A = this chain, B = another copy of it.
Amino acid sequence: MIYLNGEDIIKSITLDECMDAVEDAYRMYDNNEYNMPDRLQVENDDLTSLYMPCFTKASFGTKILTVAPNNAKLNKPVIDGVMLVNDINTGEVVCMMDGKTLTAIRTGAVGGVGVRHTTRKDVKSVGLIGTGVQGFYQIIYTCKARNIESVYLYNRTKEKAISLKKELEKRLKGINIHIAQSSRELVKNSEIIITATTSYKPVIEDDKELLKGKHIIAIGSYKPDMRELPDSLLEIVDTVVIDTDFAKQESGDLCIPIQKGLIKSDEIKNMGAFLKEYNNIDFTEKTTLYKSVGMGLFDMVVANKIYKNSIEKKIGQHIEL
């Protein structure tokens, strides 16, 4: 068995390979070539443990996450966990990897795939609202998918935006990184706007003129009462693409506008089908929304690619069974 820590994972897969793996997952989703049972969630005092098994034709595994809110006080990650990769034929665990890093890069790559397929090819600017743990890789993957010249960061707690700016500057040479003073300023300056918050009310101003022609990548809201996006976006949007069918029910960014009649459910396209049917669209002057809530199939397909690459590249710690 091989163990891959965060560094090993990063070394094992390129940004493009990771986005390609997410696109593979989308194709499997569209072709129904997966088995992803309901996740098991168990709670005990302040701890929550989540089990997310997934099978594809080529792979089988489980992401296991723990959520420990008290860890924040200890300067430890609130969400921690591991991904187990099993042999699809024998069931044996062949690889275990850090769940935090896997989640961060696959969520970044899911955003990146949205950028690849729902934004104008010549965009030069991206803004990120919410500079928490997912923010770093959202920007990294966006900058890989498009020739970005300017990045704008906004967070209610300004220090967090400043700290992410420093982190990004180490990695992104030749790209200007700015701190925006308001969400409005950020949206005004950015062609792509990524929302990655845990907000329960819109983090973008409800202003059609401001939003016209923008490409929104929303990854925050994953519950029916969580919302990042204002009503007016759904009124003017030309194309809405989601990662999974259940996003329509699970995310307040979709279920509330559908309920209000601002958008019809059947106008919303699934990325798997979208990739097949609508490739190479010119999004000039189009307003687009890509909404992701995530699913275990992304973890499984990306983890399997990481595992296969780690074998080839001889990366990771070997464990004697």
A interface vs B, CB < 8 Å? 1, 3, 5-6, 35, 37, 40, 42, 44, 47, 49, 51, 53, 55, 60, 62, 64, 66-68, 70-71, 74, 76, 80-82, 84, 86, 88-93, 96, 98, 317, 319-321
Contact = CB atoms under 8 A, between A and B. Distances in A.
Contact of A62 (B37, B64, B68): B64
A49 B60 contact: yes
A91 B48 CA distance: 8
Contacts of A80: 90-93
Contacts of A91: 47, 49, 66-68, 71, 80
Contacts of A66: 86, 91-92
A232 to B, nearest CB: 40
A51 B62 contact: yes
Contacts of A320: 5, 317
A84 B86 contact: no
A114 to B, nearest CB: 29
B92 A76 contact: yes
This chain: how many copies in the complex? Answer: 2
Contact of A49 (B53, B64, B81, B98): B53
A66 B89 CA distance: 11
Q: Which of A1, A67, A88, A90 has its CB near the most chain B CB atoms (within 10 A)?
A: A90
Contacts of A76: 90, 92
A213 B62 CA distance: 49
Nearest to A55: B44
B68 A89 contact: yes
Nearest to A321: B5
